[in-house]
Amino acid sequence: MSHNQQNFVQQLRELGYRVTPQRQLIMDTLCEMGGHATINQIYENVHDRAPAIDRATIYRTIHLFNEHQFVLSAVINGQTMYEIADAHPHHHLVCRGCQRVIPLADHHFHDLAQHLREEHGFAPDINHITLHGLCATCQEN
């Protein structure tokens, strides 16, 4: 997923933030890594390209990106993972037995979101849900 498809630079500026070289490099690196990455993995990749960027800058920047949903986070197998936000919500089933991560389409949550709005007056953020449990194979064992 390319962050350029999401107009990251324009959106960040519209929110009143500067697009610093550090922020651009962190976003570029995360995009190039693809999929899910930990803060440490992001730091290692950024540090290889720009050793002057410290861990605190990575944490602050990822927190900023996550706060504005440029980057999404999920706890998978006990670690917080980050990825570029996709234009379409997606979710994960994580097996606590074999640690397999199974993608899950968004349409499964439409009825739940509608129920929460109608019955509870609550507007859920359901763009990136991770459910933990046991896959069919692990249930058989």
Q: What is the pLDDT of residues 28-49, one digit of tens each?
A: 999 899 878 999 999 999 999 9
Distance between CA atoms of 34 and 21, rounded to whole angstroms? 20
Q: Which CATH superfamily is domain 91-140 in?
A: Ferric-uptake regulator, C-terminal dimerisarion domain (3.30.1490.190)
Same topology, domains 3-84 and 91-140? Answer is: no
Asked if pLDDT for residue 26 goes beyond 60, the answer is yes
Q: What is the pLDDT of residues 75-93, one digit of tens each?
A: 888 889 898 887 777 788 9
pLDDT category, 105, cuts 50, 70, 90?
A: confident
Asked if pLDDT for residue 1 goes beyond 60, the answer is no
Q: What's residue 92's pLDDT?
A: 85
Question: What three-state secondary structure class fits 27?
Answer: helix
CATH 1.10.10.10 fits 3-84, yes or no: yes
Question: What three-state secondary structure class fits 18?
Answer: coil
- What pTM did the predictor assign? 0.72
Q: Residue type at 96?
A: R
Domain extents in the chain? 3-84, 91-140
Query: Residue with structure tokens 């069919």?
Result: 136
